[in-house]
Amino acid sequence: MRNIRAKRKNPGLQHQHLSAVRVMKLLAKAKVRGDFLGSTELEFVPGEVQEGNYSLDVGTAGSVVLIAMTALPVILNRNVRLTLRGGTDVPLSPPVDYMRLVYLPVLEKMGMRAELRVSRRGHYPQGGGEIVLENVRGNPTPLSLTEMGEATKFVGVSHVSSLPGDIARRQADSARRHLEKFGKPVHIELEIDEVGSKGSGIVVVAVGDSLMGGSALGERGVMAEIVGERAAEQLLQDMSSGGALDRHMSDMLMVLCALNNLRYTGAQLTEHAKTNLEVIRKFLNVNITLRGERPFFLECKTEGT
């Protein structure tokens, strides 16, 4: 790979990306060139995936969730326990509760299961969080997920670490007020911890024939009520698109789509999703059908199917 993140303000591999490369290097006993901070070129030659217990510390608040999602397809049906330390709830990355409440349940619909445990929360900029991913099992089958259907309920988690617990309650109450207009049950759990780096956040999920999620993180100077409102509004915006998956899940599912002959509709075809598809086309022999942008339809068929 060349010109990695070339047009970004800080081009090349950053701590989070480098950690993902290093996890895959460990798992696959790969020969790698260019795995250093700021590298814009990477050569990765994998070997056989090795079972065992692995751990990696990002060293910053880089997202351990994105690293776990990178490793998950590779450790499917292998006895691997992966411990990751860094950021669990950080900007521009899926919160760990999104992985628990949206990402993994969608994978269950295609026949995959995994155990994810949050040992400690880690927020930006301190990091210090820890998750454990293990027992990734299943026999993925082709999945057609093209309708969200009517939401039967809303669930979620509002959390706070090393800050007043009232913040989590106010986030949850604000999100609940926006979601109750649908006339469906709304259950948002509160998680109040005195350990972990300082921070807060909320994930809310609509449950129907599919699942959609919305999330927001607390920010200095931003009222907890605004944080809860942002999460609910993001979810409602994607629900109004007519897609079966929210903008983030429909992006993150693309690799598994290419490997397992999926078809689905996503709320919004983001620029990140477009780039994701182009990279997939360069590495996998797969026929990709793409239509529309909001919502968009995606179907993947591996060669010979």
- pLDDT per residue as tens digits for the range 49-71: 999 999 999 988 999 999 999 99
Same domain for 203 and 228, yes or no, is yes
Does residue 104 sit in the same domain as residue 74? yes
Last residue of a domain, one of 239, 259, 285: 239
Which range marks the domain in which residue 129 is found? 1-141
**Residue 305 scores a pLDDT above 60:** no
Boundary-marking domain end, from 81, 111, 141:
141
Per-residue burial over 242-263, b if 16 or more Cβ lie within 10 Å, else e, is ebbbbbbbbbbbbbbbbbbbbb
Same domain, 158 and 124: no
Indicate left, alpha or beta for 199 from its phi (over 0: left) and psi (-120 to 50: alpha).
left
Q: Residues 224, 177: one domain?
A: yes
Active site residue 187: no
Q: What is the pLDDT of residues 187-238, one digit of tens each?
A: 999 999 988 899 999 999 999 999 999 999 999 999 999 999 999 999 999 9
pLDDT band at 304 (very low <50, low <70, confident <90, very high): low
Average pLDDT along the chain: 95
Model pLDDT for residues 135-192, shown as the tens digit of each residue:
999 999 888 999 999 999 999 999 999 999 999 999 999 999 999 999 999 999 999 9
* Residue 223 and residue 132 share a domain: no
Looking at the domain assignment, is residue 294 inside a domain? no
Do residues 171 and 226 both lie within one domain? yes
Tokens of 123: 């927020």
**Is residue 126 located within the same domain as residue 167?**
no
- The structure's pTM equals 0.95
Annotated active-site residue in 15, 123, 248, 272:
272
Q: Are residues 49 and 102 located together in one domain of the fold?
A: yes
- Residues 107 and 165 both lie in one domain: no
Q: Is residue 13 part of a domain?
A: yes
Q: What domain count does the chain have?
A: 2
Question: Taking the alpha carbons of 118, 123, 124, 130 in that order, is the dihedral positive or negative?
Answer: negative
The verdict on residue 132 lying in a domain is yes
Alpha helices in 240-288 (DSSP H): 249-252, 254-260, 271-283
Which of residues 95, 117, 141 is at a domain's end? 141
135 is a domain residue:
yes
Does the residue 67 lie in any domain?
A: yes
Give the residues across from 191 on adjacent strands.
159
In a domain, 299, yes or no: no
Same domain membership, residue 98 and residue 29: yes
Which among 205, 224, 226, 211 is positioned nearest to 266, based on CA atoms? 211
